[in-house]
Structure 1
Amino acid sequence: MEASFEITLQMVIAVIAGISAQVIAEYLKLPSIVFLLLFGILLGSDGMNVLHPQVLGAGLEVIVALSTAVILFEGGLNLELRELGKVSGSLRNLVTVGTLITLLGGSMAAHWLGEFPWAIAFLYASLVVVTGPTVISPLLRTIKVDRQVGTLLEGEAVLIDPVGAILAVVVLDTVLNGETDPWMAISGLTLRLGIGGSIGAAGGWCLAFMFKRAHFISDELKNLVVLAGLWGLFTLAQLSRSESGLMATVVAGVVLGSASLPEERLLRRFKGQLTILGVSVLFILLAADLSIASIFALGWGSLFTVLVLMFVVRPLNIGICTINSDLNWRQKLFLSWVAPRGIVAASVASLFSIFLTERGINGGDSIKALVFLTIIMTVACQGLTAGWVANWLQISSTQATGVVIVGCNPLSLLIARLFQERGEAVSMIDTDPVACQQAQAQNLKVFSSSALDTTVLEEAGLASMGTFLAMTNNGEVNYVLAQRAVEEFQPPRVLAVFPRNPQASTSINRNRIDRAFGSDIPIKTWNEYINSDRVKLGTTTLSEAGFALQQAHLQALIWAGELVPLLLEREDRLLVVPATEQWQPGDRLIYLLHDPRPNLLKRLSGATPAKRLALEKLPEVEEIPLPSQNVSTI
């Protein structure tokens, strides 16, 4: 009874500590692994001595195996095959040639600098060839890098994990059986990958078939069926050939993710929550089992080994593997900088330490300590600075340009033309064939379909666009479309024209969706104004001296329904104006102006103003011809 209570207590402590670390990381916008490692070490034997993973016995290995299967399945599920096609050559090189480069470079550094025997040095290098989705995915959610870079990093992390784990097993077999033939090792690696991939592909197809045909199973139960199927595939692959289960889970996730399932969003959310729980518990337990003294006992040579791995081997890896890609030097430099290690390296190193100790081979504890030193240094150095480096290199997705606009009406066409004249990519979506023809007549890229279809959004290029704008005549539809864009693509800026209502204000995505332009603007009315030439397009630059007066005057016109702020030019970037935007001195505002009084537009366009108009005149107004068939464009 006491033993079972002790195991329960250990698991409860691990779960509470892990979720607490996740919450703190979410609040501080930092990689969660930083706090998971910190909490684990503090709770372990070298800290408060309240968490003892060894109490779990063989159960720890079971937790590690099943959790890792879920983590890799979720990574495969989230892989975007269409995006991978853009970087397939580089990704293939990273998983193959890059693995070999890291294996050789890491082993030489561990042998010459860390003074490890060649066998142990190769074993260490095989453990750290992986980067790991458990670190990369949360990191990318935090820093929001360029889509192409993010896809390559996440694809490498997911695909190289099973390859690295299997490679490590092959190297371990070589170490334990000293006389293993190299060709036998290569054939063993290939066989494990083939068996795991075949079982994963077949199992993933069966799961997708079940999802589409078994309508009698509820959505919640389907998620659990997939979980059971996933663990079944993992176990089947493991029984067929040891360590082939990881490859099976990745391939099953990729196949299921590419099957266009109707309940795919619910499945992704469920597996994402399981992954967070698994990562949290595993890192806490493994970090608590780490001896800090063993890390300090490694000496300076091991520190230099990790530094060489980070600043020599990784840049060399990226340079060779992306030599024929279309990535620019900024993207390559960021890829060279970011390669934090994660849960697979930690869990496999912990298991290998046990195996080596049981066989009476020295170096098991040192291997584990060096792998954790690598995790700590790469996460602390690269994970904490990745956002700053991305901004410095200007590859953050928040700096992405281009816009996808839903709704082909006169006002949206005007905005599209303004972006197009600026040289930014523009895609428009509408279900009305006549409206689409009008947009095509102005040389705009148009998709005649529903924006609820994620395939259409993908074809429109939303994955690489900086802005999504929904501005049909139906506000509720606009908000639903914006929600869809956030859930599926997460573009940096999502705006929609929608009314104030309780449903919108309480949405889980309320912090990601902005109301466009201003207070409830009547789209139909302004479209009529544009069609009847009762508007003028103008700009004004907010000066430092008269900023307060200018802002107050503009806000008064907006609330009076006489002016709609469309776009904001700030630091050479063109942005759709959100309703809650805080204007700054130096901003250049592009607006649409209307006034029912017949002489006002003439006076604004250059006629001699009457005295009573002096207070109504916008400061620094620069009239811009309105893009239309009758008026010259900008």
Structure 2
Amino acid sequence: MAVSETAGIAPVLGFALVGLLGVGSQWLAWRLRMPAIVLMLAAGLLVGPGIGLLDPGRDFGALMQPMVAIAVAIILFEGGMSLNRQSLSDAATGVRRLVLVGGPLGWIASSLALHWAADLSWETSIVFGGIMIVTGPTVIAPLLRQARLKKRPAALLQWEAIVNDPFGALAAVLAFELVVVVHNAATMGEAITDMVVGILASIALGVAGGWGLARAFRNALVPEYMKVPVLFVILLAVFALSDSLLHESGLLAVTVMGIWIANADLPSYAELRRFKEHATILLVSGVFILLAANMSRETLAGLDWRAVVFVLAVIFVARPVPVLLALAFSNIPWRERLLVAFTGPRGVVLVAVAGLFGERLTALGIADGQRVSVLAFALVAATVVLHGFTLTPMARALGLKATETPGVLIVGGSRWSAALGLALRKLDLPVMVADPNHAHLRHAREAGLETFWGDILSEAAEHKLDFVSYDKVIAATDNDAYNTLVATDLAPEFGREHVFQLKRMRQQSARHALPSTLGGQRIGADETYFEAIARLAEGWEFRVTKLSSEFPIAQWRERNPEGVPVADLGPNGTLRLLGPDDKVKETDGTRLLFLGPKRQERKEDRRDENGNDTMKAP
């Protein structure tokens, strides 16, 4: 049998269950537009202390701690790989202040909250307080993806979370060493020496690992198909070696290694980062399920009113006060300061490291060390649920969302792009037209549309454009190969179902034809660039109308027999770009964007069937 009262669930079945629950929670969160972390937390609690199906400590035994430690190391490494120095831009000052000033202040404030609100001893409070300065990249990343913040506040939260994570663990190490000195009467000099040597060694290992990998990859010393396996092996070696010199310093080493690789300008960096992102999604899912399921009913029953007071003190005092002090008199606007100050979700690293040090404090004879794990879990659960549901509304109230409704990025400047952009703007959607040829953007500029002069696939575009404002891409240049390249390259970022391109010219010879598996979705009448331009020249135009019970799609079709649906915008603000085989939503209040012949204007008929202005090509 796979499950019994004594043996529990079989390890292989347990791994499968963790994977199913983790990925399933993320998928369900995507479908329901809910914070994924909340569902993962609920799923772990359900199968763990809820129905007792999974007990990681029992079912995986001694493998539990190493699995979580390696997973956290890989997550932090992937986070470090996303910290390119150019992504800091105008957030650099804020990040330095949050790490160098906010970190120590947060340590002090958290220690005070633990001692006075949770009634822990000073020894336990100082150790646990160091861990609490971390804000969890495992939680921040999915929250930022959902909230769609503007570039600078998003960068502040992301950089603080990733950089502070290893330093929080090291702060706990430092505090614990001091507690050991007090209890074991060891010399302070030895403890400080061990600490300094360990930190310097971990930084050196991280730099050496990153430098060595970058040099090997750049000089083709590693074949393409082995780059990811070699990366993983070196990552694990750096983490294990650093951790053997000083406990928890491995987190610092792998973070430094990730940052080094991110700034090494490797030609294969995009492929490495994409694979790491996929691995991290799996690991974040698995670790959250494991940690939630590992909570026992007895531990959860130990949560009392002091735990509630402690969580409230952290959320409303120990987190915001240090952040506001750190960012005072900086170039960060007050709205962004408030958002960062009241956004401090904790995640995997806090629970994992807190559990480790709780056991060590208890072994030293400090009785309340056993309360560290339950308080850490309470803080993680409370902040995950709170910020999961409040970050988006708070960002909206402070005016810090990149856009309320994601818009459309049109690659390729032309009369067709400008006309379509104007029609989309009529739907109150953000529109950007990009082209490396400045002259091609003339129509878009004359129409008053936002433009980007440059290659949309360039590094400059990645750092200058706020891609989070757009969730649809239309590749519409006169170069079919470039359209296919843009659609293929941006598909993993935006989702293949959200990337479109104009129809490719039919090639006479198969040797000149691009593979059908590359490129984007079809759009509108599925025309080539030259057919689309010719249609506008013949007098066709993009128009917008509103469907309702009084004016259904059938009536629209009667009045516009030649009309070609291009997009529809539902009453809830959901935009769909339509291909030739897609059906228009018939929901009452849907706004339909279509391409149709220009109507003969009369003095009394300059508006469409529902009173909407027609959109003419500029």
Q: Normalising by structure 1, report the TM-score.
A: 0.78
Does 246-255 or 270-279 show the bigger shift? 270-279
Q: Could you say which residue in structure 2 is the equivalent of 1:3?
A: none
Secondary structure of the residue aligned to 1:316 is: helix
Matched, 1:254 2:259: yes
| 1:188–1:411 CA distance, 2 compared to 1 (3 A) | farther
| 1:499–1:323 CA distance, 2 compared to 1 (3 A) | farther
Matched, 1:485 2:490: yes
Matched, 1:314 2:319: yes
Q: Could you say which residue in structure 2 is the equivalent of 1:594?
A: 597
Query: Aligned letter for 1:165?
Result: A
Deviations along 1:60-116, one digit per CA (max 9) or x if unpaired, are 443333222211111111234323223222222222322223222222222112221
Q: Could you say which residue in structure 2 is the equivalent of 1:151?
A: 155
Give distance in 1, aligned partners of 2:388 and 2:426: 38
Matched, 1:369 2:366: no
Q: Could you say which residue in structure 2 is the equivalent of 1:630?
A: none
| 1:491–1:606 CA distance, 2 compared to 1 (3 A) | farther
Query: Unmatched 5+ residue regions in structure 1?
Result: 1-5, 596-600, 610-615, 628-634
Q: Could you say which residue in structure 2 is the equivalent of 1:198?
A: 204
Q: Could you say which residue in structure 2 is the equivalent of 1:604?
A: 601
Q: Could you say which residue in structure 1 is the equivalent of 2:139?
A: 135
Q: Could you say which residue in structure 2 is the equivalent of 1:17?
A: 17
Residue from 541, 550, 561 that aligns with 1:545 = 550
Give distance in 1, aligned partners of 2:418 and 2:195: 56
Q: Could you say which residue in structure 2 is the equivalent of 1:411?
A: 416
| 1:192–1:85 CA distance, 2 compared to 1 (3 A) | farther
Q: Could you say which residue in structure 1 is the equivalent of 2:585?
A: 582
1:346 offset after TM fit, Å? Answer: 1.4
Residue from 172, 178, 186 that aligns with 1:174 = 178
1:473 offset after TM fit, Å? Answer: 3.8
Asked whether the 8 Å contact 2:117–2:310 carries over to 1, the reply is yes
Give distance in 1, aligned partners of 2:458 and 2:111: 45
| 1:519–1:370 CA distance, 2 compared to 1 (3 A) | same
1:230 offset after TM fit, Å? Answer: 0.9
Query: Unmatched 5+ residue regions in structure 2?
Result: 1-5, 507-513
Residue from 292, 295, 304 that aligns with 1:290 = 295
Matched, 1:213 2:213: no
CA RMSD of aligned residues (A): 4.5
Q: Could you say which residue in structure 2 is the equivalent of 1:103?
A: 107
Query: Aligned letter for 1:20?
Result: L
Query: Aligned letter for 2:351?
Result: A
Asked whether the 8 Å contact 2:22–2:286 carries over to 1, the reply is no
Query: Aligned letter for 1:376?
Result: A
1:485 offset after TM fit, Å? Answer: 2.5
Give distance in 1, aligned partners of 2:452 and 2:476: 15
Asked whether the 8 Å contact 2:542–2:593 carries over to 1, the reply is yes
Map 1:377-416 → 2, pairs under 5 A: 377-387=382-392, 389=394, 395-397=400-402, 399=404, 404-416=409-421
Deviations along 1:240-283, one digit per CA (max 9) or x if unpaired, are 54432211101111221233433334323433344344444544
Deviations along 1:555-599, one digit per CA (max 9) or x if unpaired, are 63324xxxx75897989x99795455637656666665436xxxx
Q: Could you say which residue in structure 2 is the equivalent of 1:351?
A: 356
Secondary structure of the residue aligned to 1:226 is: helix
Map 1:485-504 → 2, pairs under 5 A: 485-488=490-493, 494-498=499-503
| 1:434–1:356 CA distance, 2 compared to 1 (3 A) | closer
Give distance in 2, aligned partners of 1:265 and 1:8: 42
| 1:151–1:625 CA distance, 2 compared to 1 (3 A) | same
Residue from 81, 87, 95 that aligns with 1:83 = 87
Secondary structure of the residue aligned to 2:52 is: coil
Give distance in 2, aligned partners of 1:568 and 1:49: 44
Q: Could you say which residue in structure 2 is the equivalent of 1:93?
A: 97
| 1:324–1:191 CA distance, 2 compared to 1 (3 A) | farther
Query: Aligned letter for 2:309?
Result: F
Asked whether the 8 Å contact 2:25–2:43 carries over to 1, the reply is no
Matched, 1:114 2:114: no
Deviations along 1:352-391, one digit per CA (max 9) or x if unpaired, are 1222233222222111221122122222333355455556
Asked whether the 8 Å contact 1:10–1:51 carries over to 2, the reply is no
Deviations along 1:381-408, one digit per CA (max 9) or x if unpaired, are 3335545555666655562677543112
Q: Normalising by structure 2, report the TM-score.
A: 0.80
Does 22-31 or 42-51 show the bigger shift? 42-51
Q: Could you say which residue in structure 2 is the equivalent of 1:469?
A: 474
Q: Provide the aligned length of Structure 1 versus Structure 2.
A: 596
Q: Could you say which residue in structure 1 is the equivalent of 2:308?
A: 303
Q: Could you say which residue in structure 2 is the equivalent of 1:124?
A: 128
Asked whether the 8 Å contact 1:126–1:167 carries over to 2, the reply is yes
Secondary structure of the residue aligned to 2:235 is: helix
| 1:354–1:449 CA distance, 2 compared to 1 (3 A) | same
Does 349-358 or 284-293 show the bigger shift? 284-293
Q: Could you say which residue in structure 2 is the equivalent of 1:53?
A: 57
Q: Could you say which residue in structure 2 is the equivalent of 1:26?
A: 26
Asked whether the 8 Å contact 1:463–1:491 carries over to 2, the reply is no
Does 388-397 or 464-473 show the bigger shift? 388-397
Query: Aligned letter for 2:227?
Result: K
Identity across the alignment (%):
28
Q: Could you say which residue in structure 1 is the equivalent of 2:3?
A: none
Does 29-38 or 162-171 show the bigger shift? 29-38
1:231 offset after TM fit, Å? Answer: 1.4
1:314 offset after TM fit, Å? Answer: 2.2
Does 148-157 or 468-477 show the bigger shift? 468-477
| 1:624–1:268 CA distance, 2 compared to 1 (3 A) | closer
